[in-house]
A and B are shown apart, each in its own frame.
Chain A
Amino acid sequence: MAVTAVGTVAVSVVLLGTILFLHESFAIFMKQVVGQVTIAAYLKDNSPKAMVDGTMRVMKSDPRVQSVTFVSKKQAMDGLRDRLRGQMNLNLINTNPLPDAIMIHPADPNDAAAIAKRLQGLPSVATVNYRSDVTQKLLRVESVLGAVGLGVVGLLLAATALLIYNTIRLTVFARRSEIHIMQLVGATHWTVRWPFVFEGILTGVAGAVIGIALLEFAYRTFAPKLAIDLPFLPFNFAVVPVGTIALELLGTGALIGMLASMLSVSRYLRST
């Protein structure tokens, strides 16, 4: 088992693990942010109650909508008063300029724009507001990062597989007379192949274990500091499923080692 191959698997696993970690944490962050998307439909003043009820009914019957809540002018003012308590005394204002509103939670944040458009067409609705720009940008960033991450991971895995493939080829070449003897006494291709495949799996697993140990060390050392020092980063370190990522990396290492070595020995056996 070549040290170089194990080392390269370890480096690949570190990079792959970092990408997986960042992807997972960003995905969790996205779920939290995008999951909070609320569409606020501010109603025209003096809209008849029947018309407001109609708007509520239309929204409740829309399958894309998860929940619909009516917020009266008074509730809105009370809420605002609560939020600004200690900063501004709203009791000084005699009138309530806030309109009645309907708050809508879409089941899928991607439907927010379509629901908002539908609301806009209803007669009791004055204006519709949701953070469309932020939501759309985040969704786009997520898809771009996902694609780039996938590409980088793909390249890394291919490079790792190629290295294990070559390492096993060298081993096969060094043991070609032994393989020849095995074949002469009637060993099947699988009997010849198995020790090399085992070596490939071992290379992959050994590299993955080293890589995971390095990642674990980095995670323990840097994650808490980063979480405190850079709180604005969209990564939620605490909730990332580190154990699952480690298992995925171990499985990937073993799989790559197995496939690369199988390919390598099979190619040699075909040529004999």
Chain B
Amino acid sequence: MIVFKGVGLVYPNGVHALSDIDLELGRGEFVFLVGGTGQGKSSLLKCIYREAEPTTGEVDIDGIPLRGIAPGQIPFLRRKVGVVFQDFKLLQQKTVWENVAYALQVTGASSRDVMRRVPRMLELVGIAHKSKMFPYELSGGEQQRTAIARSLVNNPLILLCDEPTGNLDPETSNEIMALLARINAKGTTVVVATHNQAVVDRMRRRVVRLTNGRIAHDQERGHYHIGLG
């Protein structure tokens, strides 16, 4: 599903974010990316949703090489890849319902399709009862549920989560992770970059540790401290 072959990423300011990344993530897999701040977790995710273009190497998504992909094709790639952020990135002037519907509308979905799929998605993430509220009226967990609903509404093959529990208390974090596990169980590949040791250790999924932009360890059913001795 996601293949990195010798990927290196140097930002225009000269910072080496990634070096020699070889990584293969299968369809329906649940993977944690761990590592300290600035070790390359977010950069690796950016290479998947094409926010950053690798300086060297190749990234393939669902068999499609991203090298040389036309700028006009990037929006269509992003419809296959849902992204969730620590700061939720919701449109503040739109309601929960509108935020989720928006992701469908920009793809040209019919209003009938929007009316059918948005309530179903809000139900799935457990936020349907607050569909008319604005993001600033919601708790952190509710905002993250809205963001997850938005990222899933286009039925993406992959869900990328960059520190999804970074702004949430432990209980809400557990709820969000349980939600991600349910989404993964339905067949969506889920990649979570996180610092949340408790969550990683409890779930015991594949863990990839990044250190200085390189893959230091990669272990099935790993825990947070793999490779740290």
* A binding-site residues for B, Cβ under 8 Å: 177-178, 180-189, 191
Known: A177-B89, A178-B91, A191-B106. A183 touches B78 (CB 8 A): yes
Contact A186 B89 (CB under 8 A): no
Please determine whether B71 and A186 come into contact, CB atoms closer than 8 angstroms: no
Please tell me if the beta carbons of B107 and A186 are within 8 angstroms of each other in the complex: yes
- 24 residue pairs bridging A and B, Cβ less than 8 Å apart: A181-B90, A182-B102, A182-B106, A183-B78, A184-B49, A184-B78, A184-B83, A184-B89, A185-B78, A185-B79, A185-B102, A185-B103, A185-B154, A186-B75, A186-B76, A186-B78, A186-B79, A186-B103, A186-B106, A186-B107, A187-B106, A188-B72, A188-B75, A188-B106
- Does B150 sit at the interface, judged by CB under 8 A? yes
Name the residue in B75, B76, B83, B151 with the highest tally of chain A Cβ atoms < 10 Å from its Cβ: B75
Residues of B within 8 A of A180 (CB): 89
Chain A: minimal CB distance from B200 (Å): 25
8 tightest CB-CB pairs across the interface, nearest first? Answer: A187-B106, A186-B79, A185-B103, A186-B78, A186-B75, A188-B75, A191-B106, A181-B89
Interface size class of B (residues with CB under 8 A): 10 to 19
Most buried by B among A181, A184, A186, A189: A186
In the complex, which residue of chain A has the Cβ closest to the Cβ of B154?
Answer: A186
CB contacts (< 8 Å) of A183 on chain B: these are 75, 78
Q: A185 — which chain B residues lie within 8 A by C-beta?
A: 78-79, 102-103, 106, 150-151, 154
| Chain A min CB distance to B59 (Å) | 17
Task: State in angstroms the CA–CA spacing of A178 and B91 once bound together.
Answer: 7
Partner of A189, one of B72, B89, B107: B72
**Cα separation A72 to B154 with both chains bound (whole Å):** 93
A183 to B71, CA, bound (A): 12
- Contacting A at CB under 8 A, from B56-109, are 71-72, 75-76, 78-79, 83, 89-91, 102-103, 106-107
Query: Would A189 and B78 count as touching, CB distance under 8 A?
Result: no
* A contact residues around B103 at 8 Å (CB): 185-186
What chain B residues lie within 8 Å of A191 (beta carbons)?
Answer: 75, 106
* Whole-angstrom distance between the Cβ of A195 and the nearest chain B Cβ: 12
Give the residues in chain A near B79, CB-CB below 8 Å: 185-186
Told that A177-B89, A185-B106 touch, could you supply 4 new A-B pairs with CB distance under 8 A? A178-B91, A183-B78, A185-B102, A186-B107
